[in-house]
Amino acid sequence: MQVEKRVTELVEEKIADRPELFLVEVKMLPNNKLIIHVDGDEGISIQDCVAVSRHVGFHLEEENTIEQAYNLEVSSPGVGEPLRLIRQYNKNIGRTVSVKLSGGQKKEGKLLEVTDGNILIEESVKEKGKKAVAVQTAIPFNDILETTVLISFK
């Protein structure tokens, strides 16, 4: 979609001098809601979201990119949002993740490492009548359908 392409350019332009920030996704929903998810290696501030929103909104208005009324929402990806970029995986090393695999299986464990080709998680595997054992499992990115960070409230 042309709008998403232009918005991507505008966001990249705005954060070009901030190497710690990165664009995760741009989505134009059918209800004319434009969603921009931006994140940072150490998180992203509300001020940064506001700056991106103002920059994008100003240029979209100036260029009349979107002819109908729309809502612009700039935020970091929500807690339940799947990880989309290797950079997001790196940011979440040490956290517990849930990984849905292309074969239908699901694995849960602590994210230990991220390489170009795969992730390494530590699962707790329990065999009948035995104590749970920590097992490290490498999962190729090609086998991953979706990865989400699990939030613990303990």
The strand ranges marked E within the chain are 21-28, 33-40, 71-75, 96-101, 106-114, 118-125, 133-140, 144-149
SS3 category, 140: strand
Based on the fold, state whether residues 6 and 61 are members of the same structural domain.
yes
Mean pLDDT, residues 120-125: 95
Instruction: Please give the pLDDT value at position 130.
Output: 86
Based on the fold, state whether residues 97 and 128 are members of the same structural domain.
yes
Task: Tell whether 80 is covered by a domain.
Answer: no
Please check the confidence at residue 1 and state whether its pLDDT lies above 70.
no
Mean pLDDT, residues 35-59: 96
Mean pLDDT, residues 126-142: 91
Instruction: Please give the pLDDT value at position 71.
Output: 96
pTM: 0.85
Instruction: Please give the pLDDT value at position 126.
Output: 85
Q: What's the total number of domains in the chain?
A: 2
Q: Could you tell me what percent of the chain has a pLDDT over 70?
A: 99
Please check the confidence at residue 153 and state whether its pLDDT lies above 80.
no
Based on the fold, state whether residues 64 and 100 are members of the same structural domain.
no
Confidence class for position 56, pLDDT limits 50, 70, 90: very high
Instruction: Read off the CATH number of the domain in which 124 is found.
Output: 2.30.30.100
Confidence class for position 4, pLDDT limits 50, 70, 90: very high
Q: What is the pLDDT of residues 58-95, one digit of tens each?
A: 999 999 989 899 999 999 998 889 999 999 999 999 99
Per the structure, the complete domain to which residue 54 belongs is given by 2-75
Based on the fold, state whether residues 34 and 71 are members of the same structural domain.
yes
Query: Do 57 and 72 form a contact (C-beta atoms < 8 A)?
Result: yes
**104-113 long-range Cβ contacts below 8 angstroms, 24+ apart:** 107/137, 107/139, 108/150, 109/137, 112/136
Please check the confidence at residue 101 and state whether its pLDDT lies above 70.
yes
Nearest-angstrom CA–CA distance, 88 and 78: 12
Mean pLDDT, residues 99-128: 94
